[in-house]
Each structure stands twice: as C-alpha cells, then as structure tokens.
Structure 1
Amino acid sequence: MSRPLTIGVIADTHGLLREEAIAALRSCDRLIHAGDIGKPEILTTLAALAPLDVIRGNNDETLPWAADLPDVLDLELEGVRIHLLHDRKQLAFDPAARGVKVVIAGHSHKPLIETRNAVLYLNPGSAGPRRFSLPISVAYLRLDDGRAEAELVTLG
C-alpha cells in the first residue's frame, strides 16, 4: 500500500514567506501557491522544496514577472481532478459536472475546508501579512487512490 501524496497549499503571501510556512511545507511531495504571491523570490524558495504549481492572484496581475503565470490551472494527480483559481467567487462552472473533486482558492484570507456536492473546496488562508484577526495558515491536501482530504495548519 502506497502512502498518500501530500500537497502543501499556500496562498496570499503578498511578498512575505514566513519561516514557519517554509517549515510546514518542507516535508510535502508537491506544492501549490494559489495566488497573490507578491515577489518572485517566494516561488524560487518554494520550488526548491518540491515541485510547484502556481497561479497568479489579483494583486499579481500588474507585476511584470507574473505576466506569464496562469489565472486558473487544472491538475490531475493520483486520480483526483483539481481546479485552481484565486477567487472562488469567480468560479464560472459546476465543478462536480466536470468531474473536479477539489477546488483550491485563496483571496479571502479565510481558511476553509468545505465539501458540497462531493467537491472539496479548500482555502489555505493567508500565509503572508496578517489581515484583521484572521490566522496565518497553510493547508495540506492529501490524495490517495482517487480520494482527497484536507487539513488546515495554523502558523500564528
């Protein structure tokens, strides 16, 4: 029996990659950054830890170095279809109807794990500068034989 694929999910760093976030993601098999990166060095650091998939967020749109990053991304890993976008409110299709099992979005800075219509919605929260009283967090997405489960990790 193989072990699950562990994907570290981070979003809304806004130019700040905390040591606690790096430590939390270090053991992951793969990483996803769900936008509002802020600085290209963040992607360089994350890519040194594990293979990295990334989308740009609304705050990245005017940054020249982020021009070639996609706004949305579809992945299929371990038999699980995953759709990435920065702002869940911009999801323009029914994920279940397209066979998507996981939707990952950031933007709100509010950590969330929610299942609706057999689709797992994951927002890792913000790992960057604190906003209001929201926690600093990342998430783990574990994929195993077509199944997905998520866990939020509060960093501060």
Structure 2
Amino acid sequence: MKKIGLLSDTHGFFHPRIPGFFAGCDEIWHAGDVGSLSVIDQLETLAVVRAVYGNIDGQEIRKRFPEINLFTVEGLKVLMIHIGGYPGRYLPKVRKLIEEHRPGLFISGHSHILKVMPDQRHHLLHINPGAAGNSGFHKSITLVRFKIENGRPSDLEILDIDRKKRLA
C-alpha cells in the first residue's frame, strides 16, 4: 500500500498547508505548471516526487520532468500529463495514449478545477487535482491524497482551502 499526495498548478507557490496534508505520503505527484524548482525542492523534503511539466514551465523543469509520465505503482498503471481533458472530452493525443497503454488512473491538471470522474468506457479513474497555487481564476486551492493498494485507488481525501484565506 502506498499513500499518494497529488497537486497541480502551483505556479511557483508553495502553500503552507501542503506539508501537513501530505505528511505520511510515500509519493507526491505534481500534474504540471510547477512554476519553480523551489516548489519541487520543498515537496522532495516530504516524499519522493513524480511530475510532468506544464505549459507555463520553463526549461529547468522541462529538463527534469517529462511531458507524459507513464508508470505503475502497487499494480496500478498511471498516466499523467498536464493538459489532457477528461472522460468523453480527452485531447486526441491523450485518447490515443489511453487506448494504447490502458491505465487504471489518468491524471491531468491545467483547468484549475478539481474533478474526480470514472471513465466507464476506458475502465479508469480520472483525477484533476485542481490548482494548489495562487495564480489563476480559481476560488479554492485544492490538494488530493489517496491510497493505492492491489492495483486500486482508495480512501481519496480532498483539502479545499478558500483562496482568500490561503495562508490560514
């Protein structure tokens, strides 16, 4: 069993509640638009970090992380990309990747909108963790954590912080 912390769209901002919410996580996954390697450095003090780069990320982050990250954890195949869409509205490139690799979990960011949706057609769970940063139109800063055991995600929890109270 592994405990996973998931976030996206930090845009260089490291919220002070991240360490507490991700305490005890075995891995932290960042779904792009990191904004600054200092965010990764801080996350790495908490757990192993897997990430993808997003459309705002510069060369430092693009050299360190891929656009597409396909990996397996505890028997669960995971596909992560920053801009991917969601069930029924995947980008053509993403739909092709899903059909080719058949992940059980698809993670994307970019929209700044938290979404957790089953995709019955492709037999997977889609998670967009929303935005953990302070740039953009979103009203809430959101973080997700969950467990993976025997090839299945479970015990999904969400931290939803009013952006106006972002330091509380």
TM-score of the alignment, normalized to the shorter chain, above 0.5: yes
* 8 Å CA contact retained: 2:3, 2:25: yes
Cα 1:16/1:51, change in 2 over 3 Å = same
Q: Which amino acid aligns with 1:73?
A: N
State the partner residue of 1:35. Answer: 32
State the partner residue of 2:84. Answer: 88
* 8 Å CA contact retained: 2:113, 2:138: no
Distance 2:59 2:4 in 1: 28
State the partner residue of 1:152. Answer: 158
Alignment of 1:1-156 (within 5 A): 4-60=1-57, 63-68=58-63, 69-89=65-85, 90=91, 91-93=94-96, 95=98, 98-117=101-120, 118-129=123-134, 131-149=136-154, 150-156=156-162
* 8 Å CA contact retained: 1:80, 1:101: yes
- TM-aligned CA deviation for residue 47 of structure 1: 0.8
> In structure 2, the residue corresponding to 1:57 is in which secondary structure?
coil
- TM-aligned CA deviation for residue 134 of structure 1: 3.1
Describe the superposition over 1:75-108 as per-residue Cα deviations: whole angstroms up to 9, x where unpaired: 1000000000001234142626633100011100
Q: TM-score, normalised by structure 2?
A: 0.83
* 8 Å CA contact retained: 1:55, 1:85: yes
Q: TM-score, normalised by structure 1?
A: 0.89
Distance 1:134 1:95 in 2: 31
Identity %: 26
Describe the superposition over 1:116-156 as per-residue Cα deviations: whole angstroms up to 9, x where unpaired: 12210001110101533531101113111111133322133
> What is the alpha-carbon root mean square deviation over aligned residues?
1.7
Number of residues paired by the alignment?
A: 151
Structure 2, unpaired ranges of 5+: 86-90, 163-168
Cα 1:92/1:133, change in 2 over 3 Å = closer
Moved more, 85-94 or 28-37: 85-94
